Homo-oligomer: A and B are copies of this chain.
Amino acid sequence: MVVYTYSVKEKTSRNTAAKRKIEEVFQKTTSPITLKQLYKKVATAIPGVAYSTVFRVVERLEKDTIVSRVGFKDRGALYEWSGRPHHHHLVCEKCDDVADISDQMLSFNDSKVAKSTGFVITNHSVELTGICKPCQENN
């Protein structure tokens, strides 16, 4: 079990069941999940846990950049653990399955964009949509 560590900016933090479980769910889940999904999983392990608790823990985790919010078009806000290597997502149109894509596979260069727009690029996010293998076959 990974020990909970807040960023240096945080003075204190307490090790609670909710936090431990939330971290565990994030670690076990490869694809981004909604707060609702997270809450359901947490509530199974900790009956009676409040949605607001999950909300606040994740809120804190996001501020501390331990989890990050990733944006998808239609679904609501999704969260995933930040520790994993930089990657992007490929979402299946049919079943909403999410595959990870490494940055190298995309190979586009920010500098060309930076030059033509005058922006300094600080971050990029790519979302691909497609149809996964199983769904292609079950057609």
Contact = CB atoms under 8 A, between A and B. Distances in A.
A129 interface: yes
Name the residue in A69, A99, A130 with the highest tally of chain B Cβ atoms < 10 Å from its Cβ: A130
Place the interface of chain A in its size category: 35 or more
Interface in A101-139: 101, 105-110, 112-114, 116-133, 136
B133 A113 contact: no
Given A124-B126, A128-B113, A129-B124, A119 B90 contact: yes
B130 A127 contact: no
Interface in A67-119: 69-74, 90, 92-93, 99, 101, 105-110, 112-114, 116-119
Contacts of A116: 105
Contacts of A130: 114, 117, 119-123
Given A70-B73, A72-B71, A107-B108, A117 B90 contact: yes
Contacts of A124: 126-129
A123 B128 CA distance: 6
A132 B108 CA distance: 20
Given A73-B125, A74-B69, A127-B125, A132 B105 contact: no
9 contacts: A71-B73, A90-B121, A92-B119, A99-B117, A120-B130, A121-B130, A123-B128, A125-B126, A126-B126
